[in-house]
Amino acid sequence: MAAWWQSAVIYQIYPRSFQDSDGDGIGDLKGILQRLDHLEALGVDAIWLSPVFPSPMADFGYDVSDYCDVDPLFGSLADLDKLIAEAHARKLRVILDFVPNHSSDQHPWFIESRSSRLSAKRDWYIWQDPAADGGPPNNWGSTFGGSAWDYDAATGQYFYHAFLKEQPDLNWRHPQVQAAMHDVLRFWMRRGVDGFRIDVLWHLMKDPQFRDNPVNPDWQPGMPDITRTLRTQSCDHPDILGIVEGLRNVADEFEDRVLIGELYRPLERLVDYYGPQGKGVHLPFNFHLMDVEWRARDLAELVQTYEGLLPEGAWPNWVLGNHDQPRIASRLGPEQARIAMMLLLTLRGTPTLYQGDELGLPDAIVAADQVRDPWALREPDANVGRDPQRSPMPWDGGTHSGFSSAKPWLPLVDHWRTLNVAVQEGDAGSMLALTRQLLKVRRSSQALSLGTYRLICAEGTLLVYERRWEEERKLIALNLGSEPVELRGIVPNRTRPCAGTHMPIETVAGDGLAANEGIVVDL
């Protein structure tokens, strides 16, 4: 029998921007609780919450100062317990964000580690002597720009941080670090959490000899600083798979939990994270839909390559957006965002939706004085800002779109007065209506949720494939372009789609697809 996370649809909540309940302009746990109706009506199966743990918020929660509590900004541990219970009562699973690569520099572990070279926790983090000239130990760069090494004058060594200097990397080669982090997973699983999304999983293991990264010959001014070198030594060391196996063993101490790895890796390497003998993460996040050329051939090839690389027993997954990436509706335009949603929800594998994508939200326009993302603040000219996709959810036409009674921490998207949940609920042709319909059809279809995938046609702007489970067959036909396409001979005439981008569905499939049209039909 399939595990729950195979047929599930996961919905990512960015808690700061979902719903504010206490009028501070920042979303919180009670806010999420108030909006569970939306998720139930949408028809998703699991929610993944970006970090809600105590944090100085240098990287908005991805700098954790206590792995086993909740930041007062978001509420309390009791609020989280309540959210888990209420979600479970509605058959929604809860996935937390686990940030093992680095802690906050305010975490007691790091404070102890930096206190002295002789501290018992010195080696819980990555400390190195200066190079001969007194500079950083090697050329490893921080993802957010500049050197990844910060000098601690008091103890005369550098510590490594793959992100901000407020996010020192933990030393995963240390057995005590592994044990402590395993206990964090157990702490949350005992509280009923159904799984974890694991932050920057490929970063956990680095070259133990700290050799330089090779210089990137293609780097040009204007490109993000981190792309100056190729990160072949500073992350994704082969030993990572042993660490992943350790995490998996902990998850397997409990029933029915899922581990999802954040992995920006080429497909050939990504699939290694399923682990030898399936002892890896259940779902290594597959982000490749976010950068593939939006053409039928390229999409078909991506699916085929991925499917071909999957190890035996491995279950695929697809992602179209998250809090780090530009919105799909801005990348492809509002019409193709509908096609993209249909693709995401009909491909073989577990889909993850990012909050707001069910409304077709574009990136928000964030003026220079509204920028909050630490990366954007450090590299204002590199076009790396992540605020636009973190704009608050627009719920209705009221004050601050129903998100908060106070001015939100980031600006709302343009056109929130028409793009919001309330307006779209009343519109049978809205993106929200389409997403709900697709989720409904998917849920009631074995072929769509668990069936096989077979490519039928990828030509020009037309992509057609079949999903099949025993006798049930569904055909998906997508027009990726803005001109009508012929379907003759591919879809039997006079078939009524069970889902379509052009709603309400009045047309009878068979002859062709209109511009930007997609349909799902029963065969």
Nearest to 303 by CA among 338, 295, 339: 295
- Cβ distance to ligand NOJ smaller for residue 346 or 389: 389
Told to check if 373 binds ligand NOJ by CB under 6 A, we report no
Report the residue closest to ligand NOJ, judged by CB. 62
372 binds ligand NOJ (CB under 6 A): no
Q: How far apart are CA 357 and CA 20, in angstroms?
A: 19
Residue 471 buriedness (CB in 10 A; 0-12 / 13-18 / 19+): exposed
Spatial CA neighbour of 159 closest among 202, 107, 84: 107
Pick 22 or 396: Cβ nearer Mg ion: 22
Q: x/- binding map, residues 374-413, to ligand NOJ, per CB under 6 A?
A: ----------------------------------------
200 binds, among ligand NOJ, Mg ion, none (CB under 5 to 8 A by kind): ligand NOJ
Q: How far apart are CA 184 and CA 97, in angstroms?
A: 12
To the nearest whole angstrom, how small is the minimum distance from the Cβ of residue 356 to ligand NOJ? 16
Q: In the chain, what is the greatest distance between 2 CA atoms, to the nearest angstrom?
A: 78
> Where does this chain touch Mg ion (CB under 5 A) — which range of 21-29, 174-182, 376-384, 388-396?
21-29
Q: Is 199 in the site for ligand NOJ (CB under 6 A)?
A: yes
Q: Does 22 bind Mg ion (CB under 5 A)?
A: yes
Task: Give me the catalytic one of 183, 253, 483, 486.
Answer: 253
Burial class (CB in 10 A: 0-12, 13-18, 19+), 374: buried
Q: Is position 202 an interface residue for ligand NOJ (rule: CB under 6 A)? A: no
Stretches 23-31, 112-120, 293-301, 457-465: which one binds Mg ion (CB under 5 A)? 23-31
The stretch among 20-28, 150-158, 301-309, 352-360 that binds Mg ion (CB under 5 A) is 20-28
For ligand NOJ, the closer of residues 163 and 395 by Cβ is 163
Which long-range contacts (C-beta less than 8 Å, at least 24 apart) are formed by 276-280? 276/241, 276/245, 278/311, 278/313, 278/314, 279/244, 279/245, 279/248, 279/249, 280/241, 280/244, 280/245, 280/248
Q: Taking a C-beta distance cutoff of 8 angstroms, is the pair 266, 287 a contact?
A: no
Segment 27 to 66, residues that bind ligand NOJ, using CB under 6 A: 59, 62
Residue whose Cβ sits closest to Mg ion: 28
Number of residues that bind Mg ion (CB under 5 A): 5
**Residue 110 is a binding residue for ligand NOJ (CB under 6 A):** no
Residue type present at position 476:
I
Distance separating alpha carbons of residues 376 and 382, to the nearest angstrom: 8
User: Residue 28 touches which of Mg ion, ligand NOJ, none (CB < 5 to 8 A by kind)?
Assistant: Mg ion
Does residue 163 belong to the site contacting ligand NOJ (CB under 6 A)? yes
Catalytic residue among 199, 236, 262, 335: 199
Which contacts of 438-441 are long-range, i.e. CB under 8 A and separated by 24 or more positions? 438/341, 438/342, 438/345, 438/346, 438/499, 438/520, 439/9, 439/42, 439/43, 439/44, 439/345, 440/43, 441/498, 441/499, 441/520
Q: 199 catalytic, yes or no?
A: yes
Among 298, 324, 425, 522, binds ligand NOJ (CB under 6 A): 324
Known catalytic residue at 506: no
User: Could you tell me the smallest distance in angstroms from the CB atom of residue 482 to ligand NOJ?
Assistant: 33
- Candidate list 29, 92, 94, 200; residue touching ligand NOJ; CB under 6 A: 200
Run of H or E residues at 284: strand 283-284
Site string for Mg ion, 26-45 (x = CB under 5 A): x-x-----------------
The span from the CA of 393 to the CA of 400, in Å, is 10
Mutual orientation of helices 334-344 and 431-443 as an angle, nearest 10°? 10
Cα separation, 67 vs 55, in Å, equals 9
Judged by CB under 6 A, how many residues of this single chain contact ligand NOJ? 9
Beta strands in 328-471 (DSSP E): 350-354, 452-459, 462-469
For residues 245-284, which are near ligand NOJ according to CB under 6 A?
Answer: 262
The single residue listed with the structure tokens 């009562």 is: 89
Task: Compare residues 22 and 66 and give the one whose CB is closer to Mg ion.
Answer: 22
Positions in the binding site for ligand NOJ (CB under 6 A): 59, 62, 99, 163, 199-200, 262, 323-324
Positions in the binding site for Mg ion (CB under 5 A): 20, 22, 24, 26, 28
Which residue numbers are catalytic? 199, 253
